[in-house]
Structure 1
């Protein structure tokens, strides 16, 4: 998965182009209002003479304001797309790097978690997608507690689950002890396998 050529700055040029286009649109709108924003209206006064009055051309001013706002919204939209794209790339490659990192000097992927656990708890080998712990714990993490009870087997961990909110304490890949809440449906199993 690390062979993919992903360009994190892929949207940079598009966003710059959109903002330059938005600036040009705003400047064009200002020019439109200055040139065509007023209209001369002729009317006959009470004395019977023709008078000329300058009034705001509502249509031109409305179009100028609308296209300026539209250009700004388009710029913001593309900026958000760029930001989301870069966040996804960061998260994806952070996960890929942690999964694809080669073991060094005989250490396994979960060695820091296992070292921190000091032989206690259960080391996760696989997390089923339907597991209530899916997205919380990962392969190599060491589950220490379920609902404040120390766990020694998958069956015991499953027996400790209750419907509704539960808590899990586990060592992650870096050896940090984390505690997280998770929801369990009625009769849902823990859905993990150990190494």
Structure 2
């Protein structure tokens, strides 16, 4: 039976996915950074397998940035789905990638633009966080971890639940993991020793 699927992605387990959920569709749910390529995410892989088997012909996402935060990857994912004849629906825009089973050129134009905006937004967030930390340090409000206070291994690992799945994957180098997770190489090494 051919059906419609909803792809849901949140970056961290602390985020609320409620606005993306829809019980009327089969849901594929990833808790993973948007910088991880779509084809490397566990639930996205399962979704693509179901697309290739012919079980899924329509995929709904809340917004373009749920597909990712890298313009090239978003565009590659949309092209892959188009090649498979899948109608991709961007819910917050009411846009369909296919009309009467033919590619919608307006969809591609708008989504290509939004893919670039999504990537710029991610880079801007990183810059604002770094600026905020620098200002807080100058004002003496940000000091990092207090000397002499230790954190249990479980408490340390609990902060990186989403990233641990990637770090366990031996096919990624430290520098790739650094780019994908925004964690320092030393933090990644520490996580590797504890898992």
- TM-score normalised to the size of structure 1? 0.26
Q: Which structure dedicates a bigger proportion of its chain to helix?
A: 2
Q: Which structure dedicates a bigger proportion of its chain to strand?
A: 1
- TM-score normalised to the size of structure 2? 0.26
